[in-house]
Chain A
Amino acid sequence: MNRTYELMFIVRPDMAEEDQDKLISTLEAAVTSSGGQVKNVERMGKRRLAYTVRKFHDGIYLLLTVEGSGGLIHELERRLRVTEQVIKFLTVRIDEEQKRLDKIKALREARRKTSPPPAEVASDAPAATA
Chain B
Amino acid sequence: MTDETRVATAPAEVPAAERPAGGERPSGGERPSGGDRRGFRPGTAGGPRGDSGPGGRKYFRRKKVCKFCVEKIEAINYKDIRLLAQFVAESGKIVPRRLTGVCTPHQRRLSSAIKQARNIALLPFAGRAS
Interface residues of A, Cβ cutoff 8 Å to B: 8, 10, 48-53, 57, 59, 88-90, 92, 97, 100-101, 104
Contacts and interface: CB of A to CB of B under 8 A. Distances in A.
Contact of A101 (B74, B78, B118): B74
Interface in B12-54: none
B130 A88 contact: no
Nearest to B92: A50
Q: Which 9 A-B pairs have the closest CB atoms?
A: A50-B124, A49-B121, A90-B120, A50-B129, A50-B121, A104-B74, A90-B119, A50-B123, A51-B124
A126 to B, nearest CB: 29
Given A48-B130, A50-B130, A51-B130, A10 B78 contact: no
B8 interface: no
Q: How large is the interface on B (under 10, 10 to 19, 20 to 34, 35 or more residues)?
A: 10 to 19
B48 to A, nearest CB: 30
Main secondary structure of the interface of A (DSSP, over half): strand
A50 B122 contact: yes
Contacts of A57: 130
B59 interface: no
B1 interface: no
A97 B112 CA distance: 13
Contact of A10 (B74, B121, B125, B129): B121
Contact of B121 (A59, A100, A101): A59
A49 B75 CA distance: 24
Interface in B106-123: 116, 118-123
Contact of A51 (B75, B79, B116, B125): B125
A57 B74 CA distance: 32
Given A48-B129, A48-B130, A88 B121 contact: yes
A88 B120 contact: yes
6 contacts: A48-B130, A50-B129, A51-B125, A51-B129, A59-B121, A101-B75
Contacts of B124: 50-51
A57 B118 CA distance: 15
A8 B120 contact: yes
A39 to B, nearest CB: 16
Contacts of B130: 48-52, 57
Nearest to A90: B120
Contacts of A90: 78, 116, 119-120
A92 B125 contact: no
Contact of A92 (B116, B118, B121): B116
